[in-house]
Amino acid sequence: MSDSWPITEEGTVSIRQKADFNLKQLYKTFHDFSQEYKYKFNEKNFTRKDKSDGSEYQIEWVFERKVTQFIKFKIDVEIWSLRTTEEKGMFKGDLEMNFNAVMEMDYEHKWEKNNFTKLLRKIYIYYIKKPYFLKYAGKLWTEIYDLHARSKATLNQFTP
């Protein structure tokens, strides 16, 4: 199993709103982000349930990028929309988005052959090259907060 460093704690980077939103524009924002930073963009889940008070959506998007032969960035975005109605391409309802980022090291499992190579990998990551990996962790932190800011701008949430 590869070593993973969580860049954001689960549920700490999130957006909540009860207002109109354009799901197509939000999708375009995520697609543009993936193109700009060269992420592989994958829609892992899209579920719609129709209920009496509106539809319920659950969407999960995953962004993955191989940074080096040893490091891979992974961003998960989970979207829930409750009591959602659609009029003229705009959605209205309760929206919640959670952003999670993880930096995976040795994602190809090259150092998984035996316990000795696993120990060498730990020494390499945590003692020999730790400042190098922290630099990449900072880059992923910057990228996830850029995606968060773009999402807020698309949803017309402005930070003072």
Closest CA to 133 of 108, 101, 104, 99: 104
pLDDT at 39 (0 to 100): 96
Q: Tell me the percentage of the chain whose pLDDT exceeds 70.
A: 97
In which band, very low, low, confident or very high, does the pLDDT at 160 lie, cut at 50, 70 and 90? Answer: very low
In tens, the pLDDT along 132-154 reads: 999 999 999 999 999 999 999 99
Average pLDDT over residues 29-42: 95
Mean pLDDT, rounded, for 152-157: 86
Res 60 pLDDT > 50: yes
| Total Cβ atoms within 10 A of residue 97 | 21
Is a pLDDT exceeding 80 seen at residue 18? yes
Q: Give CA–CA dist 22/99, Å, rounded.
A: 19
Q: Which tokens in the block code for residue 25? A: 């524009």
- Quick one: pLDDT at residue 159? 58
Q: What pLDDT does 35 receive?
A: 96
Q: What is the pLDDT of residues 89-123, one digit of tens each?
A: 788 888 999 999 999 998 888 888 899 999 999 99
How many Cβ atoms sit within 10 Å of the Cβ of residue 156?
Answer: 11
